[in-house]
Structure 1
Amino acid sequence: MKTEFGNHGVLPPPYRSKLRPQELSWLTTDQIQHLLKVIAQFSQNPHVLSLTKICLATGARWSEVEGLKLRHVRDGKVSFHGTKSGKSRSISIADDLFQEVSQHLKEYNDFSFSLSAFRRALDESKVELPKGQAAHVLRHTFASHFMMNGGNILTLQKILGHSSITVTMRYAHLSPDHLNDAKRFNPLRLYH
């Protein structure tokens, strides 16, 4: 989607809530692939690629992912503790990513502070984002793609750890069935 903020998505006004519009932009599939390639090729920080993949696969905040330890990676899931809401949550990830993260944490024990290395890789990728966007775009990218791929809004709320559905609703319009449920579930459908 081409927008005033570059070639990425931005939620329309009704879903912006109290957030600035740039806080709700997301990366396209092509931008994700390009960013991962740039990180793999140019980042000297050994943690950035894994951190980025986990954020994109789980919708977790960068700081939550940086806090992962090997004991938080079990049974095909990553578990986040000390989250913004104060509640722990576990999210299933693909087998190959699970193996990658497990191996990484066995080798390094933890993730060091890597946000500045991510920002350098983002700059190197030439993906245009609004100022201040940085790693939070990964969370919005997860949520946006989750809904565009047919995910359930209540499931998204649980995955993101939002205490209120109101915050999660800013992604609802991205569902391919958005508002089509009115056609499918109204009482008159039985008579036509």
Structure 2
Amino acid sequence: MTWLQTLKDYQHYLKIERGLSLNSIKSYSYDVEKLMKFLEKNDLKTSPLKIDANITKAFVYDVAKHMNERSQARLISGLKSFFNYLVFEDYRETNPVDLIESPRIGRKLPDTLSLEEIDNLIAHIDLSKPEGERNRAMIDTLYSCGLRVSELITLNLSDLFFEEGFIKVTGKGNKQRFVPIAEHTQKLISIYKTEIRNHQDIKKGHEDTLFLNRRGRGLTRAMIFTIVKNLSEKCGLQKTISPHTFRHSFATHLLENGADLRAIQQMLGHESITTTEIYMHLDQTHLRDVVNQFHPRR
């Protein structure tokens, strides 16, 4: 088997069997492509089925010199996934990356915004422009529903169940969940639909897409990042934020106000509660209040 054919089969596996997004598949593929370039550069003639631990170790040590610890860990994880696939499919008996230890890295706490900062960001949206109403509805939805960027741009009109107070969200691996949506957010979406979207020339294939660009097509992830970045600069926010910051803020604010961690996990669409536990970075004052309220010997 050649590297290119094996990589193509691996990408197919990631898409069909694991249901990963296009961005995740690109990320996993990039790790394997770096290994392929290393082999070509050093004239190492070996196949995906024959490559041994010595070569993979040499590759990791070579590229690690130009990476921080978090990037090193991600690369090693990506390679392990690729060779685990080959073992799973009985192409290999062992994984040549298993004995390479990932660097120990601390869990990075997500950046968050206060409610005042979020309100200030939204207040700086220029509603005199057609995209203003759309951007206000999008930012509010990101925060109020704790959505990922990919979930926001794939949100459809048919996913809105305002009478029941929910929206249907399609998350990673095409897994669907229902997330509560506040009346305030419903109102902003309804204003955008009535005043802006209903007057657009919507292109074929995007009739059900909720948030559209000026050409009547769906938005891209990059466009959402640009909107958030420009808005942050406009209001002079002294933080580096991204669309994901609103999701972090959603979870953190719920937790700080006493929401159950399991409920937050369900709303965020986390497969494991361990992922949700990253939001347990509350200040000591809040933790002391919890003990004072609930401990039997308070």
TM (normalized to structure 2)? 0.49
2: distance between equivalents of 1:44 and 1:118? 17
Which residue, out of 199, 211, 234, partners 1:111? 211
Q: Per the alignment, do residues 91 and 173 of structure 1 end up closer, same or farther by CA in structure 2, a change over 3 Å counting?
A: same
Q: Deviations over 1:101-121 (max 9, x none)?
A: 245346525213241223211
Q: Helix, strand or coil for the counterpart of 1:90?
A: strand
Larger radius of gyration: 2
Equivalent positions of 1:1-192 (< 5 A) are 18-19=107-108, 21=109, 24-41=110-127, 45-46=131-132, 47-74=134-161, 75-81=164-170, 83-105=171-193, 108=197, 110-112=210-212, 113=219, 114-115=223-224, 116-130=226-240, 133-174=241-282, 176-177=286-287, 180-181=290-291, 184=294, 189=297
After alignment, is 139-148 or 168-177 more displaced? Answer: 168-177
Q: Which amino acid aligns with 1:92?
A: P
Q: Per the alignment, do residues 152 and 40 of structure 1 end up closer, same or farther by CA in structure 2, a change over 3 Å counting?
A: farther
- Structure 2: runs of 5 or more not aligned: 1-104, 198-208, 213-218
1:29 Cα offset (Å): 1.9
Q: Deviations over 1:56-113 (max 9, x none)?
A: 10111122112111110012211111x1253111111122322332453465252132
Q: Which amino acid aligns with 1:55?
A: L
1:185 Cα offset (Å): 5.0
Q: Which amino acid aligns with 2:244?
A: H
Q: Deviations over 1:111-144 (max 9, x none)?
A: 13241223211211111223xx311111111111
Q: Which amino acid aligns with 1:110?
A: L
- Structure 1: runs of 5 or more not aligned: 1-15
1:181 Cα offset (Å): 5.0
Higher relative contact order (CA 8 A, sep 6+): 1
Count, aligned residues: 167
After alignment, is 120-129 or 145-154 more displaced? Answer: 120-129
Contact map agreement 1:77 1:98 (CA 8 A) in 2: no
Q: Per the alignment, do residues 42 and 134 of structure 1 end up closer, same or farther by CA in structure 2, a change over 3 Å counting?
A: farther
2: distance between equivalents of 1:178 and 1:63? 37
Q: Which amino acid aligns with 1:118?
A: V
Q: Helix, strand or coil for the counterpart of 2:178?
A: strand
Contact map agreement 1:154 1:165 (CA 8 A) in 2: yes
Q: Please identify runs of 4+ aligned residues in structure 1 that moved more than 6 A.
A: none
Contact map agreement 2:167 2:178 (CA 8 A) in 1: yes
Q: Per the alignment, do residues 69 and 149 of structure 1 end up closer, same or farther by CA in structure 2, a change over 3 Å counting?
A: same
TM (normalized to structure 1)? 0.73
Alignment root-mean-square deviation, CA:
2.8
Percent identity over paired residues: 23
